[in-house]
Amino acid sequence: MGMTMSQKILAAHAGLDKVVPGQLIEAELDLVLGNDITTPVAVKEFKRAGFNKVFDTRKVAIVPDHFTPNKDIKAAEQCRFIREFAHEMQIENYFEVGEMGIEHCLIPEKGLAVPGDLIIGADSHTCTYGALGAFSTGVGSTDMAAGMATGKSWFKVPSAIKFILKGKPQGWVSGKDVILHIIGMIGVDGALYKSMEFMGEGLINLSMDDRFTMANMAIEAGAKNGIFMVDQRTLEYVKEHSNKPYKVYEPDDDALYDEVYEIDLSSIRPTVAFPHLPDNTRTIDEVGDVPIDQVVIGSCTNGRIEDLRVAAKILKGRKVKKGVRCIVIPGTQKIYLQALKEGLVEDFVEAGAVFSTPTCGPCLGGHMGILAKGERAVSTTNRNFVGRMGHTESEIYLASPAVAAASAITGKITDPDKI
C-alpha cells in the first residue's frame, strides 16, 4: 500500500523508505516555532536540561504575538525573558514589535515554510503551513525545547482523510466557509490525530489565503495536520516569498485513506459556527435573528490582505452600527502597510471601526477586545469555546470576514448579500 502526502514527508525526514499509520518515528525538523506564551516554558525546560545552544540558529523562530505590544507587566517580563534568550542563542528569526506579525501569518510571508518541510510549533495552529504542502503541527512547550536543542522530534505517523474539492465558491463564500462547512460535517473530533489532505480540481479556485485559513483550522476537527496538494499557485507563492529549497510530495495512487469526502465548493453557503464549538454550524440562511455587540476581523485565521479587502469592500461608504464595536487586525506589518496603501484603513476608520497593530489579542481573550458578561461577538478567529474571548457567559460566533463586516453594519449576524 502506498503513502499519503503527510506520510511521505515524515518518512523522508526520518530517513525511511516507508512508514505506516501508528508507527513511532524520530524525524529531522526544518523549523521549530514558539510565541510569547509558550516559549518561556520551553526556554526554562531547555536550560533545565542543560542545553546551551540551539541546533540551528536559522531553524528556530520566535514570534511574540499574543500579548504584544505588552499588555501588562507579566507580558513584558515574559517577552523580556525570551528576547534575552533569542539574543543569547543568536536566533536569526526573532520578530518583535515593529517587524512582528501574528506568527502563522508571518512565517509563510517570511519564506520560512516551504513545500515538503517538517515543522513543529508550540501553538496548536501551526498546522497553517500545510497550505504550502508542508507537514506542520502543534506541540507542547517541552517538545519545543527538545526540538530547539536537537533538531529532532518523535511522531506517531497519522492515518489520513482525503478531501476532494470540486467546483468554485460562489458569491462571498471563502475558505473560512469551506472549512467551517467541513468541520460541521465531520465534527470537532472527526479527524482526531489524522491528516486532512486536500486535493482535486477545485483547488485552483481557492487562493493561498483561502488555503491558509483552511489548514489553520484543521486542528478544530481534531486533526494532527492539514495539508494541500502543491499546485502552480503554491509554487508562485513560494517563488515570491522564499529562496529555501523545497520538495513537492504527492500521495501515491494506492495511498490508504480512512475516509474520502467529495466537497462541491459551489454548493457551500456562508457558514457560521454558533457557541460553543466550531462544529455547531449553520448556513447564513439558518442563522435567524442574532444581535451582537462586537465584531473582530483578523487573527492567524483571517488576518491576511484578501480578508481585509473583502471586509473593506463591504464597509466602504457604510457605518458600523451604533453600539457595535468593530476591531480590525492585520496579520503582519507588511499586510498593515498594504492595507494603508490600498486605502483599506481609511475605509475601516471612516466606517467607525478601529484598526490595530498585528496581535492575537482578542482571539484568546488576552487584550484588544475582551468580551463582558452576556456579550456576543462575530469573529473571524478559529475557536468559540466557553470563555475563549472573555467572560464565560459571553458568546462567540465564528464567521468569514464578509459575514463579520456585514454584521458590523446591521448589528446582527447578516448575509453579506443583504447589505
Phi and psi angles of residue 232, each rounded to the nearest 5 degrees, phi first:
-60, -35
CATH number at residue 206: 3.30.499.10
Q: What is the tens place of the pLDDT at every residue in 14-42?
A: 999 999 999 999 999 999 999 999 999 99
Same domain as 205, residue 111: yes
* Amino acid, res. 277: L
Burial bucket for residue 18 (CB in 10 Å: 0-12, 13-18, 19+): exposed
CA triple 406-332-82, angle to 5 deg: 130
Same domain as 220, residue 241: yes
Same domain as 307, residue 259: no
Query: What's the structural domain count of the chain?
Result: 2
Q: What is the tens place of the pLDDT at every residue in 44-96?
A: 999 999 999 999 999 999 999 999 899 999 999 999 999 999 999 999 999 99
Same domain as 234, residue 90: yes
Taking CA atoms, 339 is separated from 97, 241, 335, 343, 345, in Å, by 18, 19, 6, 6, 6
d(CA 386, CA 363): 12
Give the DSSP H/E element, type plus range, for residue 239: helix 232-241
Tell which of 213, 245, 264 closes a domain.
264
Q: Percent of the chain having pLDDT more than 70?
A: 100
Kindly indicate the confidence band of residue 191, based on its pLDDT and cuts at 50, 70 and 90.
very high
Same domain as 326, residue 220: no
CA triple 128-26-48, angle to 5 deg: 85
Same domain as 163, residue 194: yes
3-state secondary structure (DSSP) of residue 331: coil
d(CA 398, CA 402): 12
Same domain as 276, residue 253: no
d(CA 181, CA 30): 32
Predicted TM-score (pTM) of this structure = 0.96
Q: What is the tens place of the pLDDT at every residue in 360-392?
A: 999 899 899 999 999 999 999 999 999 999 999
Same domain as 344, residue 402: yes
Mean pLDDT for 183-206 is 97
Tell which of 237, 264, 291 closes a domain.
264
Tell which of 233, 264, 295 closes a domain.
264
273 φ/ψ sector (left φ>0, alpha ψ -120 to 50, else beta): beta
Q: What is the tens place of the pLDDT at every residue in 209-247?
A: 999 999 999 999 999 999 999 999 999 999 999 999 999
Query: Which residue range is the domain that position 159 belongs to?
Result: 5-264
Give the number of other Cβ atoms within 10 Å of residue 212's Cβ: 29
Same domain as 342, residue 245: no
Same domain as 295, residue 255: no
Same domain as 299, residue 221: no
